[in-house]
Structure 1
Amino acid sequence: MGRLIIAEFRKTLTTKSWWGLMIPAVVFAFGFALGWGAFANKVGNVLDSEETQDIAHALGIEIGHLPMGLLAIGHGINIGLVFPVIFGVYALAGEYSKKTITTTFLTAPNRGSVLTAKMITYIVWGMLYGLVIAAVASLGIALSVDQARQPTSGQWLGVIGASVLAGVLATLFGIGVGAVWKSVVGSVITLSIYLLVFENVLVLVSYGLWKVSWLGGVLPNGTMNGIVGAIGAEAFGAAGVKLPRINEEAQWTLQYFAGAPGAFSWWASALIFFAWTMLFFLTGWASNQRRDIT
């Protein structure tokens, strides 16, 4: 098993995919965190104004120091997580596309050991992606949000840990999709459209037309985003705002601005996305045990 894992690392390190996808992950994570951080900081300026404070007091709403950085950081991390998903696709689908899967399977004791080695290897890569994405998104927040609105050290650690977890699951999710589809191009195009467009539109339309607030909390992209985004939404609601009667619409809007519309909690999002990951991963595992490689 040790030699198979070393071989898997050599396969990824001798290709351009790991750093070729890391670059846009860093750029998008930093850019989105910087932009959303600047927007959240401006909202914080409005909420801190004397006029807003007077209105809030008259309505019986208490506004304290809001963790605006946490409200924005999820957007940077979530957009960055799309790239470890794509990176995971290359684990098996890439070998089928390059016609190297036959050699890989024939030189290993069995297919199960190959897939296990790939899983272990890409867990490490997912951790690296999650850590780097969290670091650059944190930098974007640090540069765009005032010090008084920055997360606490404990909240920073929570976000970093959640990002690492999300990076691992995102990579394994990509492996599963690629293993089922067996096509890099088909998997990447379909996943990109689904993660960036289709599910987001579906969640927005479902809430706008039918007030279905929970849909984003059960679908793959929403649950992946909720691992980090829900931390911001929960901390924002608990730390700075106390509403006498908070309704579902206000809650959903807060979650949306945190990057996790419909999320139940960060740990529930992690569990549901883990279930989606295992569904595709185990399906891909089973199909590759029987698939003809000649």
Structure 2
Amino acid sequence: MGGLIKAEFRKTLTLNSWWVLLIPLVLAGFWMSFAWGQITNDFVDFIGRGPAREIASGIGLDVEELPVGMLSLAHGVNIAQLVPMIFGVFALAGEYRSKTITTTFLTAPNRVSALGAKMLTYLVWGLLYGLVSFAVAALATVMTVDSARLPSAGQWLGALGGTLLAYVLVTLFGIGVGAVLNNVVLAVVLLTIYMLIVENVLVLIMWTSAEIDVLGALLPNGTANGIVGGIAADAFGFDSLNIPGTVDVFDKLGLQLAAGAPGVISWWASALVFLGWTLAFFVGGWAANQRRDIT
């Protein structure tokens, strides 16, 4: 297994994709956090009045001590999650496209070993992308948010742990999607459109037209975002379970959008649900590649 893992690292390091994808990750993570950091100081004024004030007083929050920097941080790392997801697509689908999958499978004892080596290798890549994303988002947050409203040491560490967990899972999710579809372009296009547009539109429509707020806690994009977004919501003391029922559904949606996780129940529940999605696609991809012919 050690030799297979070394071979996987050599494959990724000899290609340009690993560092090329770092560019959009850094840009997206930094500028999203920077933009949110510019406005999060005003969030204290918002939550001190209207429905938000009802929520704050109902759960005993002191609005002057809210760590609004968590909002900036969560949005930065969440938007950049798409990058390691796309990187994961190349793990198997990319090898089929470049015709190197034959060598990969023939030089391994069996396909299970080959896929296991890929999983462990890309797990490390997910951690590395998560560290970079957290670093740039944290930098943008520190640059823009008032020092008194930055997260505590424990909240920083919690957000870091959540980021690393989310990035490992989205990378493995990307591997599974690529393995199932077996087409790099198709997988990247579908993932991008679904994660950035389709699911968000569906969640908003269901919230506003039918007042159904559970989709964000069940679908892939919402649960992936809900890991760090849920940690941000926890820092404020609210999530879908304890927002007072008297709060209007649109105000509730606005608060959870601010946290970057509409419909989130809690960070650990989001992690478990997204783990289920990851396992479903990963196992599906593994099963498909046990039967797929190579030439």
State how 1:193-212 maps to structure 2 within 5 Å.
193-212=193-212
TM-score normalised by length of structure 1: 0.92
Shift in CA distance, 28/244, structure 1 to aligned 2, threshold 3 Å: closer
State how 1:67-146 maps to structure 2 within 5 Å.
67-146=67-146
Q: Deviations over 1:64-101 (max 9, x none)?
A: 31111112221111111100000000000000000110
Q: Deviations over 1:127-163 (max 9, x none)?
A: 1111111111111111110001100010000000000
Stretches of structure 2 lacking an aligned partner (at least 5 in a row): none
Shift in CA distance, 72/8, structure 1 to aligned 2, threshold 3 Å: same
**Matches of 2:159 and 2:143 in 1, distance apart?**
17
Shift in CA distance, 243/281, structure 1 to aligned 2, threshold 3 Å: closer
Instruction: Work out whether residues 33 and 76 of structure 2, in 8 Å CA contact, stay in contact via their aligned partners in 1.
Output: yes
Letter of the 1:225 partner, please give it.
N
Q: Does 1:34 align with 2:50?
A: no
State how 1:1-294 maps to structure 2 within 5 Å.
1-44=1-44, 63-237=63-237, 247=247, 249=249, 250-294=251-295
SS in 1 for 2:65: coil
TM-score normalised by length of structure 2: 0.91
Instruction: Work out whether residues 28 and 80 of structure 1, in 8 Å CA contact, stay in contact via their aligned partners in 2.
Output: yes
Stretches of structure 1 lacking an aligned partner (at least 5 in a row): none
**Matches of 2:188 and 2:75 in 1, distance apart?**
21
TM-fit CA distance, 1:60: 6.5
TM-fit CA distance, 1:255: 1.4
SS in 1 for 2:213: coil
Please tell me the root mean square deviation across aligned C-alpha atoms, in Å.
Answer: 2.2
Instruction: Work out whether residues 44 and 64 of structure 2, in 8 Å CA contact, stay in contact via their aligned partners in 1.
Output: no
**Matches of 1:124 and 1:105 in 2, distance apart?**
21
Q: Deviations over 1:10-61 (max 9, x none)?
A: 000000111111111011000000101111112335667xxx69xx69x967
Letter of the 1:261 partner, please give it.
P
**Matches of 1:290 and 1:248 in 2, distance apart?**
52
Instruction: Work out whether residues 26 and 132 of structure 2, in 8 Å CA contact, stay in contact via their aligned partners in 1.
Output: yes
Matched residue count: 286
**Matches of 1:221 and 1:12 in 2, distance apart?**
26
State the percentage of identical aligned residues: 56
Instruction: Work out whether residues 243 and 252 of structure 2, in 8 Å CA contact, stay in contact via their aligned partners in 1.
Output: no
